[in-house]
Structure 1
Amino acid sequence: LKEKRGVFVTLTKNGDLRGCIGHPLPTMPLVDAVIDAAISSATRDPRFPNVVEEELSKLKIEVSVLTLPEKIEVETPRDYPKHVEIGKHGLIIELGINKGLLLPQVPVEWNWDAEEFLSHACMKAGLMPDCWLREDVKISRFEAQIFSEESPGGRVVERALLQGDQEKTYKKTRKPCSGANP
């Protein structure tokens, strides 16, 4: 918990996103990053009003502990999809001052293929969906270890994402997190 790690905290209420903020890079110890991201998800996500006390018992919390992002090197931008594994990689798209990040679980939950994932990451950065085809775009990938409450305030499990070559499905494993080493 004292190791510096990137982390995102996702809050959901009745299955709907309620907040998601984090630190893509390991700028502080994991324990501090989780606390900061949790508070920020509840109070600083510009897409949502602040979480109020009455909601706390209805929120499900998910923590994604990130690996260091690695730049994807390709000969031509059309090769990017070959280097993105759905259910394994998250993406960071950067072009000029624009930057967007999507966690590995997002394309699994939305049944996207690699091209759709790249397009949505571009849009998250405030760019056109096909920006990933530009020569001057920087695309990085990362992985995440995901810990999720089974229900609001419930048992925490490590969530595994599965994605076959042609399958578009995911499931949750039921591995208790006590003693887990993120």
Structure 2
Amino acid sequence: MIDWFHWLNLAGVAVCAVSGTLMAYQKRMDGFGVVVLASATAIGGGTLRDLMLDVPVFWIADTDYLYTTLMAALVPVIWLRLSPQFPYHYLLIADAFGLALFNVVGIEKALASDTSMAVAIAMGTITGVFGGLLRDVICREVPLVLDGELYAITCIIGGIAYGVAMQAGLSTAWCGLLALSVTVLLRLGALRWHWQLPVFSGD
């Protein structure tokens, strides 16, 4: 894979590792719990994607991802030791970028494995949301992706934008940039204006 793809993946891993560490802090977990939750959030989606695509699991093939996960998990640990206040609102913004980064990475990796565009969109969505789903399940929370939040749908729409751009003949870089922008803007819009999917209920 080319360098920008590698760095995109590392950035997404780092952001999600921080997210998992903060959840471990809120749930008052020990050091092992922090590592487990940070790792599940950071590499869970990519692991499932690679298993489904039947390609070498990315963090086994390149241990940079493991080191990045551990180092990123230390950031909120050190921060919260020095100050009880953590800028969670900035984390939500960073999480939106992490979601979008993982979405593009999943799409790119699936297309590199000669899948169809529909499968690539599914792989991008799985890469983006499955780590967070694992995190929430471990913590016995209703997963964000299942709770009406405009979350997974942003990956799907971003993936569709990628496919449209590819059909229009744009380069891979421009397709990735468009998908990244669409996913981020939709997620940030959902956070700002509380966009949600209809919730299945008896009301």
TM-score (norm 1): 0.29
Return the structure number with greater helix share: 2
